[in-house]
Chain A
Amino acid sequence: MSDSTLLVGPFNRVEGDLEIRLEVSGGAVRAAYANSPLFRGFEPILQGKAPMDALTITPRICGICSISQSAAAALALAEAAGVRPAPQGALIAAVLHAVENVCDHITHFNLFFGADFARPAYAGRPWHDRAVARFTAMEGSAMRACVEARAQVLHIVGLLGGKWPHTLAIQPGGVTRAPTARDRIRMGSTLTAFRRYLEAEIFGAPVEAFAALSSAQAVRDWSTGDAGLFMEIAADLDLATAGPGPGRYMSFGAYPTDDGRVFGPGLWVDGGLAPLDPGLIREDLSHAWMLGEDAHPEAGQTVPDEMMRAPGYSWCKAPRLGGRTVETGAFARQVVDGHAAALELARDGGGVLARIAGRLLEIARTQILMEQWVAAIRPEARFMDQVTLPENGIGAGLVEAARGSLGHWLRIEDGRIANYQIIAPTTWNFSPRDAQGTPGPVEQALVGAAVSAGEETPLSVQHIVRSFDPCMVCTVH
């Protein structure tokens, strides 16, 4: 196949807009350029507002991970005020956040990712009929079951947060809702129903069995439920070797409670775990349509280059940790937390299968955690402490959204927001090139992807891109 350039987009079944330019030769992708074509300007909008308004404004960056944004804003404000949320408030915030993260994972698996295997291009494969029955966009039986299960489990968010999306309950000092003993029972039964859904549809076995898998081989050999169907497809299409990332995984650590972060923070690099220093984060602007210089987000600026000049090709800045790209997401979180199967999958090179497996492991583990947290709710405890924000101060709110590490950096001056910078998970994963010309994680993962003659939107590219579960509205915001 001769050299050519493909423009893939608009990319649907991802959250928001995405366009990818591919340089193709010899039947494979040689270079990829990810463009986030949507910019709204939340960071300049936040400047000059009352600090507490961040709790209402930032969730509206994204309708699918709004609780993550609100949790990050609340933590940043709490840090600026020098307080920690009331322990039971932090527990409720963890429940709210975990429900959203799990919902995002099952939505991705069923609605966004699985649908590609129902394509006619795969007709004749031994698994194709089953994939069509389960995953066909808007009609497959798995999609229906997922949408219903999701609506049910989001009752917990309804109960604790009043509404979803754009829940308001999480505050720097805790949460606005003090649950009653009756609420606790109701949430327990909702979680039991959700466990039934997970075990009947996704795992075809107890969640504990999947969570306890201890080797990469055991994950790949899983044969029941839609997880099993996926592993069968992945083996046939060799998704284990497709789309390897930079091989460096980052997690801020998920669910801050009184006993620390439940999924631990850190960095997996050069085959081993290392502590994470968020002070090493810089946002590179060389290939973004942004004016200004590289900076740590505490001092960062968001000034769009309205002329959209080259070499910029995306509204997305390029965050780097110590000058290097890192991958973030559910798989990264499980690797950094030291899950045995995830660590093995990372050593095997990551890739599409590993990212999906990471999400499945996290779904199983989070179900168990949510049940424990709900059982630990003490209705008589305090759920919110009073917080007085300083007239001047700084704070960082580092959390783990479904798609990976989310950070808010806030500076308050004279009682107003002087600066607010946000780095979302997909900003890391879908960043453009940096000043050294190093491509972002997805740009690198796409190199080598197979392109058949005549393919305008190569299937391999779609699998790889969607395996990251990009959330483009968060990416640029």
Chain B
Amino acid sequence: MSEPVPEIETFYDVMRRQGITRRSFMKYCSLTASALGLGPAFVPQIAHAMETKPRTPVIWVHGLECTCCSESFIRSAHPLAKDVVLSMISLDYDDTLMAAAGHAAEAAMMDTIEKYKGQYILAVEGNPPLNEDGMFCITGGKPFVEKLKLAASDAKAVISWGACASYGCVQAAKPNPTQATPVHKVITDKPIIKVPGCPPIAEVMTGVITYMLTFDRLPELDRQGRPAMFYGQRIHDKCYRRPHFDAGQFVEEWDDDGARKGFCLYKMGCKGPTTYNACSTVRWNEGVSFPIQSGHGCIGCSEDGFWDHGTFYDRVTDLTQFGVEANADQIGVAAAGVVGAGVAAHAAISALKSAQSKTQTKPTQSKEEA
């Protein structure tokens, strides 16, 4: 994808500097290979790449969000993974964790952009609200959307972390008061990898970023722009409760006998049958569990529009039962159409709203309206 930049040290140099041992490094490489679904033969290849390639600089910015993606990210599986990945990408600019503050922090971002023009990856957590010229999310005195566009202009690729950046998430739920808008609607001239989920699984995040840094290219994406290696199957396909679904054994109410026996949660509103994600295989919090294992159905948080698809405890009604398989691409195409229409409607509504607000006076009139 690009020429190596000689002045940047290699991943391995960075790791050595952080005091990570060779043994741990090799363990990390094999863990990464298995997380990516690659065989043991790829371990030396990953190790070699990390020893010889200059590390890729990363700028990590936060828009309208809740920081859950960062929270998930810093809790990756291997005790070392987070260290390695943190040092590897070095987060040249990250406004939640970095040392600098205030204007010095803003200057650090500009420095990184200048220094690594065209070389860095832009990781976006959250999304820009476009209503009222972006005034609902101001960082450094400017609307976040401007910072996003600026940081994206010289990026090699963009990662949309989580449901916010990928699709909008709950803050974009009707009536989407701030017109929260996913990244790909604002940045249209860069390769964008969507890593949806609220938040995404830590191992998925590190897996995606390691793949990009190691192989210097984007992972294979599905039609929605998600890495196929993690979003190729439905939760339902690999769910450990699937045999109970097939046998017609369901939880009928909370903490009933079926719940104690681990029966299927479909009737409790589980969205596993329509959700593409790796929860049922990779699991959460270092492989400990995932929502269905804790007795609560999947809410489908890695799917576009999950926040506006009726209540989270409604049964999935459009499920094609038994034997008929749909793939993510087909479902994705249908969903994309719906979203397009939704955005147009929102644009119209917010234009109308801003026209109305000009006539509002502060503070009494709106009280009467309400």
Q: Is A25 an interface residue (CB 8 A)?
A: no
Whether B75 contacts A52 by the Cβ 8 Å rule is no
Whether B68 contacts A66 by the Cβ 8 Å rule is yes
Interface size class of A (residues with CB under 8 A): 35 or more
6 A-B pairs within 8 Å (CB atoms) are namely A115-B99, A161-B291, A162-B295, A163-B291, A174-B254, A456-B103
Cβ of B366 to closest chain A Cβ, rounded Å: 4
Cα A53 to Cα B346 in complex, Å, equals 22
Q: Is A42 an interface residue (CB 8 A)?
A: yes
Within 8 A of A (CB), among B250-266: 253-255, 259-260
Interface size on B, residues (CB 8 A): 89
Assuming the A-B contacts A168-B296, A292-B366, are A162 and B291 also in contact, with contact meaning beta carbons closer than 8 angstroms in the complex?
Answer: yes
Assuming the A-B contacts A148-B79, A456-B103, are A10 and B139 also in contact, with contact meaning beta carbons closer than 8 angstroms in the complex?
Answer: yes
Find the A residue at minimum CB distance from B131. A306
Find the B residue at minimum CB distance from A162. B294
The one of A37, A136, A166 that contacts B199, using a Cβ cutoff of 8 Å = A166
Q: Is B224 an interface residue (CB 8 A)?
A: no
Q: Is A133 an interface residue (CB 8 A)?
A: no
Whether B68 contacts A9 by the Cβ 8 Å rule is no
Cα A175 to Cα B286 in complex, Å, equals 22
Q: Is A258 an interface residue (CB 8 A)?
A: no
Contact segment of B4-12, B42-50, B174-182, B329-337:
B174-182
Q: How many A-B residue pairs have CB under 8 A?
A: 269
Residue numbers in B under 8 Å from A174 (CB-CB): 254-255
Q: Is B320 an interface residue (CB 8 A)?
A: no
Residue numbers in A under 8 Å from B180 (CB-CB): 40
Q: Is B106 an interface residue (CB 8 A)?
A: yes
Q: Is A137 an interface residue (CB 8 A)?
A: yes
Residue numbers in A under 8 Å from B228 (CB-CB): none
Please name 5 further chain A to chain B contacts, defined as beta carbons within 8 Å, in addition to the given A66-B68, A178-B295, sorted by A numbering: A45-B170, A148-B79, A160-B294, A162-B291, A174-B254
Residue numbers in A under 8 Å from B362 (CB-CB): 291, 305, 307, 309, 312
Cα A73 to Cα B66 in complex, Å, equals 17
Q: Is B324 an interface residue (CB 8 A)?
A: no
Q: Is A378 an interface residue (CB 8 A)?
A: no
Query: Nearest 8 pairs between A and B by C-beta?
Result: A63-B68, A158-B285, A41-B177, A162-B294, A158-B288, A137-B99, A176-B295, A162-B291
Cα A315 to Cα B137 in complex, Å, equals 10
Residue numbers in A under 8 Å from B177 (CB-CB): 39-41, 44-45, 304
Assuming the A-B contacts A63-B68, A173-B254, are A38 and B136 also in contact, with contact meaning beta carbons closer than 8 angstroms in the complex?
Answer: yes
If over half of B's interface residues share one DSSP class (helix, strand or loop), that class is named, otherwise mixed; here it is loop
Whether B67 contacts A166 by the Cβ 8 Å rule is no
The one of B18, B65, B169, B170 that contacts A473, using a Cβ cutoff of 8 Å = B65
Q: Is A446 an interface residue (CB 8 A)?
A: no
Whether B97 contacts A111 by the Cβ 8 Å rule is yes
Residue numbers in B under 8 Å from A177 (CB-CB): 294-296
Cα A163 to Cα B284 in complex, Å, equals 6
The one of A53, A111, A303, A307 that contacts B311, using a Cβ cutoff of 8 Å = A53
Residue numbers in B under 8 Å from A44 (CB-CB): 175, 177
Cβ of A304 to closest chain B Cβ, rounded Å: 7
Cβ of A316 to closest chain B Cβ, rounded Å: 13
- Interface residues of A, Cβ cutoff 8 Å to B: 7-13, 15-17, 19, 37-42, 44-45, 48-50, 52-53, 55-57, 60-64, 66, 86, 111, 115, 118-119, 136-139, 144, 147-148, 150-151, 154-155, 157-169, 171, 173-178, 285-286, 291-293, 301, 303-309, 312, 315, 382-386, 456-457, 462, 473
Cα A8 to Cα B140 in complex, Å, equals 9
Q: Is B301 an interface residue (CB 8 A)?
A: yes
Cα A39 to Cα B132 in complex, Å, equals 12
Cα A146 to Cα B316 in complex, Å, equals 41
Most chain B CB inside 10 Å of its own CB: which residue of A40, A157, A303: A40
Whether A10 contacts B95 by the Cβ 8 Å rule is yes
Q: Is B35 an interface residue (CB 8 A)?
A: no
Cβ of A381 to closest chain B Cβ, rounded Å: 10
Cα A164 to Cα B71 in complex, Å, equals 9
Q: Is B138 an interface residue (CB 8 A)?
A: yes
Residue numbers in A under 8 Å from B178 (CB-CB): 39-41
Residue numbers in A under 8 Å from B103 (CB-CB): 456-457
Find the A residue at minimum CB distance from B80. A148
Cα A12 to Cα B69 in complex, Å, equals 16
Cβ of A360 to closest chain B Cβ, rounded Å: 22
Q: Is B211 an interface residue (CB 8 A)?
A: no
Assuming the A-B contacts A37-B137, A63-B71, are A386 and B299 also in contact, with contact meaning beta carbons closer than 8 angstroms in the complex?
Answer: no
Assuming the A-B contacts A13-B96, A37-B138, A136-B99, are A57 and B295 also in contact, with contact meaning beta carbons closer than 8 angstroms in the complex?
Answer: no
Find the B residue at minimum CB distance from A17. B139
Residue numbers in B under 8 Å from A383 (CB-CB): 255
Cα A158 to Cα B65 in complex, Å, equals 22
Within 8 A of A (CB), among B274-299: 279, 284-286, 288-296, 299
Assuming the A-B contacts A40-B129, A137-B97, A306-B131, are A162 and B292 also in contact, with contact meaning beta carbons closer than 8 angstroms in the complex?
Answer: yes
Cα A127 to Cα B51 in complex, Å, equals 37
Find the A residue at minimum CB distance from B175. A44
Cα A118 to Cα B98 in complex, Å, equals 12
The one of B105, B299, B360 that contacts A56, using a Cβ cutoff of 8 Å = B299
Most chain A CB inside 10 Å of its own CB: which residue of B65, B106, B132: B65
Q: Is B249 an interface residue (CB 8 A)?
A: no
Within 8 A of A (CB), among B94-121: 95-106
Residue numbers in B under 8 Å from A175 (CB-CB): 295
Cβ of A424 to closest chain B Cβ, rounded Å: 12
Whether B175 contacts A45 by the Cβ 8 Å rule is yes
Cα A167 to Cα B198 in complex, Å, equals 10
Cα A138 to Cα B90 in complex, Å, equals 9
Cα A307 to Cα B72 in complex, Å, equals 36
Cα A292 to Cα B18 in complex, Å, equals 54
Assuming the A-B contacts A38-B136, A62-B66, A456-B102, are A165 and B312 also in contact, with contact meaning beta carbons closer than 8 angstroms in the complex?
Answer: no
Q: Is B135 an interface residue (CB 8 A)?
A: yes
Cα A144 to Cα B131 in complex, Å, equals 40
Find the A residue at minimum CB distance from B93. A12
Find the B residue at minimum CB distance from A6. B102
Cα A426 to Cα B45 in complex, Å, equals 49
Whether A41 contacts B67 by the Cβ 8 Å rule is no
Cα A137 to Cα B66 in complex, Å, equals 21
The one of B105, B198, B357 that contacts A60, using a Cβ cutoff of 8 Å = B198
Cβ of A427 to closest chain B Cβ, rounded Å: 15
Whether A158 contacts B286 by the Cβ 8 Å rule is yes
Residue numbers in B under 8 Å from A16 (CB-CB): 67
The one of A42, A139, A163 that contacts B289, using a Cβ cutoff of 8 Å = A163
Cα A62 to Cα B68 in complex, Å, equals 7
Assuming the A-B contacts A45-B173, A45-B174, A291-B366, are A382 and B67 also in contact, with contact meaning beta carbons closer than 8 angstroms in the complex?
Answer: no
